[in-house]
Amino acid sequence: MSDRFSPSGRVVVTGMGAVTPLGIGPENFWPRLLAGESGIDRITLIDPSPYTTQIAGEVKNFDAADWLERKEARRVDRVIALGVAAGTLALKDCGVELDEELKDQFGVMIGSGIGGLWTMQEQTHILYEKGPSKLSPFFVPYMIANMPSGMVSIMHDLRGPNVAPVTACSTGANAIGDAYHVIKRGDAVMMLAGGSEAAINDIGVGSFCAARAMSTRNDDPTVASRPFDVNRDGFVMGEGAGVLVLEDYEHAKARGAKIYGEIIGYGMSADAYHVTNPHPEGRGASSAMKMALRNAKVTPDQINYINAHGTSTSVGDVHEVKAIHNAFGPAASNVLVSSTKSMTGHTLGAAGAIESVFCLLAMRDGVVPPTINVEEQDPECNLDVVPNIAREAELNIVMNNSFGFGGHNVCLIMQKV
């Protein structure tokens, strides 16, 4: 690495892009999120009538041809197109001028919890209906979970480290945390980091229905996702992508970049308990939060806001609350906690990245997005969950929790600069 890129050890966020069920780009989704609007509706991407759950948080009015060359747009998996859109928005937002030297030090780390499920479904049908000779040569490239990261790198000629973590619903947060370490140790000066997911198809909906994990409140979609409410009955699937531009602080300062915040803490742990259920005492989640606090060198009382994993499942919400109490002690009674999944649904591997965007915007504007649909708060979820109405607050340090199947737990801490 040249002297121009000597690492400072500090990593800041200088760009962001997100494609969500509430809109594409912060100018579209952020006002709706603060207004407590729901992006949940009846599924239109497939015929949902055979399924017990018929609602989801779809990205509306999304055209892959707006982000990719038309021929490519017709054939890539939706998960790739969403990731490319979010990555392109983030790169544009950061305003950097890419020269050849910087391209060698600019990496991409965009993961997906599931990958190209649309491609998998389509090509499986072709295999059984028409035979193996009719399979697409693009089947594998557009199915594998690393391709959103790979495609963003190819499109923008970014030649630094390129990785795609896969840790279920922790993936997007994992990507941001791992990219943070890449820059801290000097292996890149800038990284596009986040997650993408597009699983609202027959295989995705059908499999989660079989697991009896999703809400069946089909008659009133906008109130189906209700984290911390006593009448919650399962998560609502969402889709989308979120990408941050992470950058070495001194490099960002030297080019006069706008800075949304600084990544200061990253914690990871395993529940080592069950393939889908969280540990009943929130053991792993608590451990990840404690690790992030240690790495950030902050105390629990310094955290102003937690964007909770908060999926609206009967056990998950309670276990996360237990974990917060365990990690925060008495400070848990003062921290503001909300679940934006009440409005977007659970975007699976993209959730941690999209919600990191929400955290940074909350710090920028001094306002906590609400948890909507809290009609009767579960007494076991005994935290200030910012019910139904956004709340102005001084936000200097915020935390983002993401937990995934397999017991993967990730916690990120960000602060104002």
Per residue in 195-216, pLDDT (tens digit) is 999 999 999 999 999 999 999 9
CB 86 within 8 A of CB 349: no
- Show the 3-state SS of 200-235: CCHHHHHHHHHCCCECCCCCCHHHCCCCCECCCCCE
Active-site residue, 279 included: no
Report residues of the chain scoring pLDDT below 70: 1-5
**Residue from 175, 170, 159 nearest 83 by CA:** 175
| CB-based burial label for 383 (10 Å; 0-12, 13-18, 19+) | buried
The two tokens of residue 60 are 């509306």
Q: Which residues pair with 110 in a beta bridge?
A: 194
Q: What are phi and psi of 195, to 5 degrees?
A: -150, 160
C-alpha distances out from residue 366 to 14, 65, 391, 416, Å: 18, 36, 9, 11
Tokens 């947060």 correspond to 173
Domain covering 266-415: architecture: 3-Layer(aba) Sandwich (3.40)
| Annotated active-site residue in 94, 169, 359, 411 | 169
Same fold, 11-254 and 266-415: yes
**Non-local CB neighbours of 164 within 8 Å, separated by 6+ positions:** 109, 110, 111, 112, 145, 146, 147, 148, 149, 150, 175
Domain 11-254, CATH number (from 3.40.50.10470, 1.10.3090.10, 3.40.47.10, 3.40.50.300): 3.40.47.10
CB 153 within 8 A of CB 110: no
| pTM for the predicted model, two decimal places | 0.97
DSSP 378-389: -TTS-SB--BSS
pLDDT for the residue 2:
47
| Annotated active-site residue in 94, 209, 279, 309 | 309
Active-site residue, 411 included: no
pLDDT in tens, 229-251: 999 999 999 999 999 999 999 99
| Annotated active-site residue in 251, 279, 319, 346 | 346
Q: Which residues pair with 140 in a beta bridge?
A: none
For the chain, give every domain's residue range: 11-254, 266-415
